[in-house]
Amino acid sequence: MIFPRPMRAVALASCLLFMFLLYELFHSPKPIKEPRIVYPDMKVDPNLEETHEPAGKLWRADDYAADNPNAPRINATILSLVRNEEVDGMVQSMRDLERTWNHKFNYPWTFFNDVPFTEEFKQRTRVETKAKCRYETIPKEHWDVPSWINMDLFKESAKMLAEQDIQYGDLISYHQMCRWNSGLFYHHPALKDVRYYWRVEPKVHFFCDVDYDVFRYMQDHNKTYGFTINLYDAPQSIPTLWPETLKFINAHPEYVKDSTVNARAWLEDKQRRPEHNKKANGYSTCHFWSNFEIADMDFWRSQAYEDYFKHLDRAGGFFYERWGDAPVHSIALGLFEDASRIHWFRDIGYQHIPYFNCPKSEKCKGCVTGAFTDGEDFLYKEDCRPNWFKYVGMG
C-alpha cells in the first residue's frame, strides 16, 4: 500500500522523534565542569574544604525586627549605585540578599544615582524588604568631570583604551563611576553618620544563608575590609597607577604600614604573572573585586586615604586611563592597613558574572562548590587568591 505523502512525512518525523528520545534516555550525560586549580602551589582550593562561620563572638538574629527601635543594629547600610533602568537587576540582587541574610537583620538599603530615582524604581525596591530604603542623588560636584581634566586628551585616551579592548574604557560615565566609588561616595551627606557598608550591585547572586550580623562581626573583630573574590586587573588599564602610588608614598612614608604587617608583597608580586607586573610598572594588578565589599568607611575617611585619593585624582588617571575603584581601594589597603584587618568572607557564596565564591557548606545552594567561574578555562588564570593566601593567609 502506498501512503499519501503527508502521512509519510508524519511517519518519518515520528521515527526521528522516537530515535531522539532513545538517545536522550540512554546516552552518557555531558560531564559537569569540575573546579580546576591552575597553580600547583595551591594544592587544594579552600572552598573545597568544609566551610564554617568565622570564629569568635557572633551576633544572631534576635530582636532585629525592622520596627524595633532598640534593635542591636549598628550604624551601617547596604549600599548600591544603580540606574533607574537597572531596576530588574537590582530587584534580583535584593531578593537574593534578603533571602540569605537581610530578612533576619533588616539593615537599611541606601541607593545612589546621578539622577533622581523614578517612582517605579522606588516602588519596586521597597516591596522587596521590610527594612528602610533611602534614595539619594549624587551631588553634581561629586559626579561631574573635574575641571583639571583635558577632555580632548580624554577622548584620545578613550580611543586607545578601546583599541586595546579595555572594557568600558570609552564610556565617560564609567570613569565617573570609578572615581566616585574610589573617593567620593563616603562624603555623601546621607552617609555622614554611617560607618559600615555592604556594597551590592544589580544582577549579582548570593547562595549561602548567613546567620550572623556581618557588620557587628567587622566591628567586634576590628576588621576594616571584607572581600569574597580576588582578581588580576588588565595592566593596560592602569599603567601609571603604581608609579603615581610610589610618588605618593615616597612623599608620605609615614602612611605606609611596616612590611611585616601590610600586604605590599601581594601588591608587588612578579612571580605568578610577571607580564602583568611589567606592564603595570611594578604592580601585580591583584585586587579585591569591589562589586562585593563590606567595609569600614573610617578607613576611606582617614588622612592617609584622603591624601592618597586627592593625589591620584589630580594625576588624571581616572579619565586618561581606566583606574578602577577596585585597584585603588586594594592598593591603599595593602599599603596603609594591617593585613590582619582584611577578611576573606569565605562563607558568603557570591557571584558577579563570570566569577564565583562558592564554599562547601550545608548553608549553600545554587552554585558549584569550589567553582571560580562558569566561563572559559582561560578565566581561571585571573584568580589571585593564591597570592593572597601565600602572602597574607586565609583570615
Angstrom distance (rounded) from CA 346 to CA 394: 9
Are β-strands 196-199 and 76-81 bridged in parallel, bridged antiparallel, or unpaired?
parallel
Q: Which amino acid is at 222?
A: N
Joined grid coordinates for residue 272: 605568578
Angstrom distance (rounded) from CA 352 to CA 355: 6
Which among 244, 293, 337, 382 is annotated as catalytic?
293
Angstrom distance (rounded) from CA 9 to CA 26: 26
**8 A C-beta contact, residue 214 and residue 101:** yes
Reduce the DSSP state of residue 288 to 3 states and report it.
Answer: strand
Residue partners of 130: CB distance under 8 A and separation at least 6: 66, 103, 106
Q: Which amino acid is at 210?
A: V
- Report the side by side order of strands in the sheet with 350-352: 205-206, 350-352, 355-357
**8 A C-beta contact, residue 2 and residue 338:** no
Question: Is there a catalytic annotation at residue 293?
Answer: yes
Measured between its terminal Cα atoms, the distance across the chain in Å is: 80
Q: Which amino acid is at 334?
A: G
Peptide bond into 354 cis (omega under 30): yes
Are β-strands 225-227 and 342-344 bridged in parallel, bridged antiparallel, or unpaired?
parallel
Positive or negative, the CA dihedral 223, 177, 105, 193 is positive
Give catalytic residues, as residue numbers.
293
